[in-house]
């Protein structure tokens, strides 16, 4: 019996990569309906709380820039795990938020982690698939992403 892990099937790989990509849209979609309540709970102006969306997008961009370089140096899996860890730390901190500035800061932390994790997806596909197979993998990831919102209903 071998101690080596079995390689993932194409479907398993697509599902795993789609979940890495899905962290970003889920972090926005699940959050939007709560904005008025968050503003009320933090006793902050709704316009200030809305800035957390922009800060999230900027954080994702920074995370992708940082992650793109680190993925080549530290490895795809290590970066995905590090990104998800940063994302989870930001998410855990958001549970304890008391002020609107804390919210903005922790949304950026969360977003940097999401960006770092998601940037790995394209690299993993390019590392493991070429030509038509790569196009099919990207298409399968896209199909899974489109189906994800429907499964929440």
Cβ neighbours of residue 81 closer than 8 Å, sequence gap 6 or more: none
Mean pLDDT across the chain? 90
Q: Looking at the predicted structure, is the pLDDT value of residue 77 above 70? A: yes
Residue 150 has pLDDT above 70, yes or no: no
Mean pLDDT of 6-20: 85
Please check the confidence at residue 151 and state whether its pLDDT lies above 60.
no
More confident of the two residues 39 and 14: 39
Question: Residue 39 corresponds to which tokens in the numbers above?
Answer: 């503003």
Does 153 have pLDDT greater than 80? Answer: no
- Do the beta carbons of residue 35 and residue 142 sit within 8 Å? no
CB 74 within 8 A of CB 81: no
Rounded distance between C-alpha atoms, residue 148 and residue 22, angstroms: 8
**48-72 average pLDDT score:** 94
pLDDT beyond 70 at 11: yes
Predicted confidence (pLDDT) per residue in 124-137, tens digit:
999 889 999 999 99
pLDDT at 56: 96
Chain segment 91-128, per-residue pLDDT in tens: 999 999 999 999 999 999 999 999 999 999 999 999 88
Region 22-47: mean pLDDT is 92
Q: What is the CA radius of gyration of the chain?
A: 17
Confidence of residue 148 (pLDDT cuts 50, 70, 90): low
Structural domains in the chain?
Answer: 10-151 (1.20.1250.20)
pTM: 0.86
């Amino acid at each position: 019996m071998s101690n080596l892990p079995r390689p993932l099937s194409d479907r398993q790989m697509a599902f795993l990569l789609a979940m890495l990509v899905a962290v970003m849209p889920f972090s926005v979609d699940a959050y939007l309906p709560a904005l008025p309540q968050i503003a009320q709970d933090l006793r902050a102006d709704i316009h200030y709380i809305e800035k957390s969306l922009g800060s999230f997008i900027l954080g994702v961009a920074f995370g992708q820039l940082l992650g793109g370089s680190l993925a080549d140096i530290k490895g795809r899996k290590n970066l995905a795990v590090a990104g998800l860890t940063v994302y989870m730390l930001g998410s855990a901190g958001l549970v304890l938020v008391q002020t609107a500035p804390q919210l903005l800061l922790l949304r950026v932390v969360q977003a940097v982690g999401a960006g770092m994790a998601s940037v790995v997806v394209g690299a993993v596909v390019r590392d493991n698939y070429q030509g038509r197979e790569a196009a099919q993998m990207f298409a399968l990831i896209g199909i899974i992403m489109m189906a994800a919102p429907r499964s929440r209903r």
